[in-house]
Structure 1
């Protein structure tokens, strides 16, 4: 950057010493300013890769720290979960030991079914005659009603 300023200063000094008219001096001054601005831009462009590299390394550092923090928190949560699970398992095991009997249960046979007395066929058919009589009376009354109507 120091060389670009020297160039601009030398160009400006040369323009002032020459016997140029005012329009040409103005154009030369603008040309000199444009070269100076171009030199400044090229210096800034040269700094861009180093800025990008510094930003990338800073991003990598921040990302690594964030991932490390996340893993640490996840490990702590997992440890607490495992501890709580073990506590609940121990409690359930203790409850099961208290509940479970030490001796196997004694199986008792079911009581015998009561014996049903065998019925005679004649006793089972006694309702057949009165039922047929009732059905016949109802059918006869219904037919007489519709026929004599």
Structure 2
């Protein structure tokens, strides 16, 4: 990603003033120093690789195959970890009821009240007889 800033976004252009060139140089130097660490660079490259908006557009061409291999290895590692954490299907996961549980009838569940009960009013309907004055 820093390569993109170095080569195109913050590259010096012909019409740039000295102030603009100085600002671009300072920004590029700061970004290069900030992301010079190999671990940080690899993390950013991996994030770019798995992000569908970027994929491998901004990764240096020498590192693309290594990053793809690393991504595959990490995915396989996650899959292996997931398989090792799943319970054995031969072992039943539903508890078998004991004799006491089989004899006892299930308890009656309470009827749930909704909030609508607070908004409904039990009002008696009244009918009005219209009187006509003649």
Which structure has the greater CA radius of gyration? 1
TM surpasses 0.5? no
Say which structure is richer in helix.
1
Q: TM-score, normalised by structure 1?
A: 0.25
